[in-house]
Amino acid sequence: MKTWLITGCSSGFGQRLALAAAQRGDQVIATARNVDTIEEMADPFGGRMITLPFDVTDAAAAKFVVAKAVEVFGDFDVLVNNAGYGLYGAIEEGTPEEYRPMFEVNVFGMIEATKASLPILRRSGGTIVNMSSGAGIAGGGGGGYYNAAKFAVEGISEALAGELKPFGIRVLIVEPGPFRTDFLGRSITIAANEMPEYAASSRRHYRENNNGSQAGDPDKAIAVILRAVDADDAPLHLPLGPVAHSIAERKLASFRSDIDAWREITIATNFDQP
C-alpha cells in the first residue's frame, strides 16, 4: 500500500489519480486551493483519504500540508505535483499580470511542494510525479508561456532525478498529449491582448474547437501512471498518448538534424592547442 500526496485535485488528472489510488486501497492526501470542491470525494473511503486546502504558491501552506499528512498517516511515499494551468497567446500579447501567476503555480508551486516533502521522502525513498505536458517537450506558436513553464518543470525534474537518486527517490515526468479532461475548459486562460499580426499562429480557438473531443481516454492515462509508479523500471520521461509521442519524435529528429548540420563548425570552438 502506498500513501499519496496529490496537488490540484479539484479536477482533471489530479482528481482522477486520487480516486484511482484510493479505490485500489492506497492512502491519499488530496489537496486543492479550495478544499470545498473536493471534501465529498473522500467520503467513500473512510480514513484512507483526507482532503486539505493547499495553495501551492504558499510555502507555509506546503509545510502545513506535509505536517498534516505525517500526523494522519505517519508518512507518504508518492508526491504528485499536478496543480497548474495554461496560458495561450503570443509572447508579445502576454502581460506580466497574466503570465507571472501561471509561473507561480506551475513552477514555483511545484518547487515549494517538493521542498516541503523531501525531508519525508528521504527517510525511505519514494516517487515524485511531476505533471508536465507535450507542451513541455517542444515549443509551439501561441503557447510559448505555457511551453516555458512546462520546460521549467522538465528541467527541474531532470535535476531532481540526479540529486535524489542516492536517497532512493525516483522522479517521473508525465507528459500528456490531449486527453478528455476539463483542462481546456477551466484550466486554460487566454491573453486578453489580441494582435492580428499573430493570427496565423494563434491558439485562441483551440479550446472551443477541441474541448470535449480530445481522443485521449483519461482513465487509461491514469492506469499507465499507476503502473509506472509501481514499476521498478519506470522511465524518467513518460509521454502519454500518440500526440505526445509524435511531438517527442519530431523534437528528437529536429534536434538531431540541427546537431548534425552544424557539427563540425560548432565543435571547433576550443582554444587552439599549441
Q: Report the distance separating Cα 53 and Cα 134, nearest Å.
A: 28
Q: Report the distance separating Cα 48 and Cα 28, nearest Å.
A: 6
For the chain, the straight-line distance linking the first and the last C-alpha, in angstroms and rounded, comes to 63
Tell me the CA distances in angstroms from 197 to 90, 99, 201, one per residue in order.
10, 20, 9
User: Which ranges of the chain would DSSP assign to H, the alpha helix?
Assistant: 12-23, 59-73, 96-103, 110-124, 144-164, 183-186, 206-210, 218-230, 242-261, 263-267
Residue given cell 535535476 in the structure block: 159
- 114 CB neighbour count, 10 Å cutoff: 20
Residues pairing with 239 in the sheet: 175
Active site residue 2: no
**Catalytic residue (choose from 117, 132, 133, 157):** 132
Active site residue 150: yes
Query: Which contiguous run of DSSP H or E holds residue 188?
Result: strand 188-190
**Catalytic residue (choose from 88, 99, 145, 146):** 146
Q: Report the distance separating Cα 257 and Cα 234, nearest Å.
A: 29
Q: Report the distance separating Cα 21 and Cα 30, nearest Å.
A: 11
Residues known to be catalytic: 132, 146, 150
